[in-house]
Structure 1
Amino acid sequence: MSQSVCKVAVLISGSGSNLQALLDASAQAGAPFSVCSVISNKPEAYGLTRAAEAGVTSSIIDHREFPNREDFDQALIAEIDSCQPDLVVLAGFMRILTPEFVRHYSGRLLNIHPSLLPKYQGLHTHQRALDAGDSEHGATVHFVTEELDGGPPIVQAVVPIKKGDTADSLAKRVQVQEHVIYPMAVTWFAEKRLHMLDDRTQLDGELLPRNGTRIHC
């Protein structure tokens, strides 16, 4: 494998559908990135099975075995750094990370959130969008900073809300687009086109709007 291929560590807590999208993208001929490690804080996470089927090394760092977040994050850092990744990707990783962790990977730590940030940080985003009477919803890939779901956006998939939508039906349509935009953002980073500058995102040498690049689906 070419040394120029970007090594990506992926952190998961559950089914790993976005992990699968990244694995599929990395398996394409000429892909600029490879998944070097999958790490879960839950031993029962199905994403570990996905990693095994793809022949990717995986490990479990169970947060319940640590007395506090700081000790857990230090163990997580040690495990991630053992594969010397160029990029760390959160793919349904349901842990709030300490400032020390975030600073350690500053500028090379990505997350995907199921809303059009800065709207609906946190949980239950689909129901919140419906309750607010929004006409559109979606997902955002963003750099991770110390503010929860507050790092600079990279790309947003905008999904129209349809009459009769439920939180489940909306979530399914949003997730389809997550599987498109996450590999896209990782590819940009791997090709050295994507950077975080202070609190802004730069793509191809240009600062993006505050909500990143928008793709209407």
Structure 2
Amino acid sequence: MSEETKSSDFTSLETRPGILFIGSSNVGKRTLLSRLLSIDLEDAFDSSNQVFSHGWSINTKYYTADVSLWIAHLHEGFSIGSLPIYNKLAALVMVFDLSDLSSFVALKDWVDGNDISKFEILLCIGNKVDRIPGHPVHAEYRRQLRKIGESGSFDDLNVEPDEFGISEIEGSSLLGDEEEPSREIKRSCIEWCTDHGIEFIEACASNVDFDKCEYHLS
């Protein structure tokens, strides 16, 4: 199956060091990149066999760099070796939905069938942590919202004063009806990542404030 690539300046992006975001459909790859780039990528690509690219200029007090970002859906037969920028890829960011076990299994199966040792940076993001019942971030998030509510600053958040956070029963747990404690879910992911030299983090790309609570607890 041929890959279709979208880019405003494909030739220029091909020459830059590349960062590949990969994962099953609907795990939040575009939402993560939308936050990273501060632009709306929600409708960037819809077909499961498309590869979307975008330029990114990194500016820190230590260095500046122009890189290319690439987003690809995992699907049967997908191979990073078929990408035209394969030799320029320096970082691999794998994304899965913490509330959907199949998206994690798909990543593990894909890694088993591909050589990821070429990447200098390996990162795995467990997204949608807000959908995990009993996760400690829920309590921290509600605590922060109560604190804000007491100060009368709810205008800064997209929540109602009587809604203290995302419901812990919203969505499903990673193991479906068998609600494994969140610590066991995290332990399993960390063990797999450690075995493959991958850094693991949890995220809530769709809710910045919830994500900040996750960061403070990590």
When the two structures are superposed, what TM-score results if normalisation uses the length of structure 1?
Answer: 0.38
* TM value normalised by structure 2: 0.38
Compare CA radii of gyration and give the structure with the larger one.
2
